[in-house]
Amino acid sequence: MADKKIIAVVGATGAQGGGLVRAIMADPASGFTARAITRDVSSEKAKALAALGAEVVAANVDDPASLARAFAGAYGAYCVTFFWDHFSTDKEMAQAKAMADAAKAAGIKHVVWSSLEDTRRWVPVTDNRMPTLQGKYKVPHFDAKGESDRFFRDSGVPATILLTSFYWDNFIAFGMGPKKGPDGVLGITMPMGDKKLPGIAAEDIGRCAFGIFKQGASMAGKTVGIAGDQLTGAQMAAAMSKAIGQPVRYNDVPPDVYRGFGFPGADDLGNMFQFKRDFEKDFCAARSLETSKALNPELQSFEVWLSRNAGKIPLE
Ligand SMILES: NC(=O)c1ccc[n+]([C@@H]2O[C@H](COP(=O)([O-])OP(=O)(O)OC[C@H]3O[C@@H](n4cnc5c(N)ncnc54)[C@H](OP(=O)(O)O)[C@@H]3O)[C@@H](O)[C@H]2O)c1
């Protein structure tokens, strides 16, 4: 292990980081090994990563000293933030800056920063097609990540900016699964009109990130978008119907209706879907399926993901 390049993985017990740790440890011939960062080394998820042979270390991104220890001696670092744990753009940006600073101080050779577009480049706050949220954002959980790109760029640390996509796992665990309508027919609801939504199996994000680390220095300074498929709501509903063996319809609703659903973050997600709908061309073009597949030959299409996961989708 001593001669292997260590990739320090933030969020290692989560979706993105977990996929990366598993991808690294599944490829012992790659010359890389994973250092899994968690706040609780004794959790079941942390133990499962240790069982794969990953080094598991304790750190909290809110604690710079612990981050410095976790990044020390590493070749690479995977940096991700946790917007839905706290809904705070200020906190997300502070954490991104802390990771960029720690990576710089530790002399990290390659960072992959899990980002998303700053949608205000397309929809300035003065544009009233969607409400401005938290005073200065259109899609807070996108904008704060995109605005944080500069922390990595300005630090001078060699960094690749990774533009992720909508997890299909949201149909299992993020409350976006099909729900029965008044007529008893299942439906998925997204304000996407007839536009395509780039999506990905969450596990594939880490695998693509590993592909970026393997390519090395040539990827520094680049922005790479990834997706496993780009499908309309109607196409996703049709694939889901086939996979679960009962009809699922696609409910297209106006973004305003979605924003009014009232669950925490509904306004942010309503704006997000509207952005993806109204700027479909740019958003899809930034996420090439070919590039994603080249980085991760195991990349799953929606159909393949459904064939492995449809049984886990709650049918309410
Ligand atoms: N859902 C989607 O469709 C989607 C799509 C694209 C991007 N995203 C973005 O993905 C991000 C979340 O990534 P994810 O889904 O991989 O997260 P996740 O599955 O919720 O896992 C995040 C992990 O990070 C750790 N963590 C949380 N706070 C921490 C802290 N202060 N210091 C150190 N570790 C901490 C937790 O581990 P421990 O408890 O073990 O410490 C947790 O397991 C969000 O910012 C979201 O906007 C989501």
Is residue 13 within 8 A of residue 43, CB to CB? The reply is: yes
Distance CA(206)–CA(296), nearest Å, equals 9
Question: Does residue 273's CB lie within 6 angstroms of at least one atom of ligand 1?
Answer: no
Under DSSP, the state recorded for 121 is G
Q: What is the mean pLDDT of each run of 10 residues along the chain (316 residues)?
A: 89 98 98 98 98 98 98 98 98 98 98 98 97 97 98 98 98 94 97 98 98 96 98 98 98 98 97 98 98 98 98 92
The Å distance, Cα 81 to ligand 1 centre, comes to 6
In ligand 1, which atom is closest to the CA atom of 46?
40
Pairing between strand 196-200 and 229-232? Answer: antiparallel
Q: Write the pLDDT tens digit of every residue in 134-151.
A: 999 999 999 999 999 999
Question: Does residue 89's CB lie within 6 angstroms of at least one atom of ligand 1?
Answer: no
Return the pLDDT at 1. 52
Question: Does residue 174's CB lie within 6 angstroms of at least one atom of ligand 1?
Answer: yes
The terminus-to-terminus CA distance of the chain in angstroms comes to 47
> Atom 5, ligand 1: which residue's CA is nearest?
166
Look at the block and give the residue holding tokens 């690479």.
Answer: 76
Pocket test for ligand 1, best of 10, 21, 37, 82 (most atoms within 8 A of CB): 82
> Atom 18, ligand 1: which residue's CA is nearest?
14
Type of residue found at 303: E
The Å distance, Cα 178 to ligand 1 centre, comes to 24
Distance CA(280)–CA(268), nearest Å, equals 18
Chain center to CA of 306: 19
Other Cβ atoms less than 10 A from the Cβ of 226: the count is: 27
pTM of the model: 0.98
The Å distance, Cα 261 to ligand 1 centre, comes to 24
* Local structure of 229: helix, strand or coil: strand
Distance CA(230)–CA(196), nearest Å, equals 6
Distance CA(76)–CA(98), nearest Å, equals 16
C-alpha distances in Å from residue 140, one per residue of 14, 88, 117, 270, 304: 21, 8, 10, 11, 31
Distance CA(186)–CA(6), nearest Å, equals 46
The Å distance, Cα 126 to ligand 1 centre, comes to 31
Is residue 278 within 8 A of residue 187, CB to CB? The reply is: no
Return the pLDDT at 189. 98
Return the pLDDT at 217. 85
